[in-house]
Amino acid sequence: MLKMKNKKGDIPIVVLVLGVFFICMMVLGSFFFFQNRINRTFVGTGIIEKAIAVEDKYYFYKSTEKFSEQDIEEILGIQIEEGRRYIFIEEKTRQGIFGLGEEKVVAYVKYYLP
């Protein structure tokens, strides 16, 4: 069996290891906690990019002349209101710890097509 010669060094080393472990767990916990808040701040730019991409697809399908207006509306999910065509895109996120809560609409875009 191994005999410990210096028992005075055991307690500070254990405290150091436990302290480092505790700090690492706090950092990981803060990353998980604030991840949802950070993702919500950049939602608006993503939705606008999606709307512009759908508009580009609309012009592409329209220029090929292989698709009728009804086909294009069905493919892209275009809706009509008061004679005007628009795209409705919404972004939802789950609220709560680790994204386990209820879904909530964070942002939406109603983008009218010409």
Answer yes or no: are the C-beta atoms of 85 and 112 closer than 8 Å.
yes
Which pLDDT score, from 0 to 100, does residue 42 have?
A: 65
**How many angstroms separate the CA atoms of 47 and 26, rounded?**
33
Residues 31-83: tens digit of each pLDDT = 877 775 665 566 677 788 888 888 899 889 889 888 888 888 898 888 888 88
**How many angstroms separate the CA atoms of 11 and 102, rounded?**
46
Rounded to 10°, the helix 69-76/43-64 angle is: 160
Which pLDDT score, from 0 to 100, does residue 97 have?
A: 64
**How many angstroms separate the CA atoms of 49 and 19, rounded?**
45
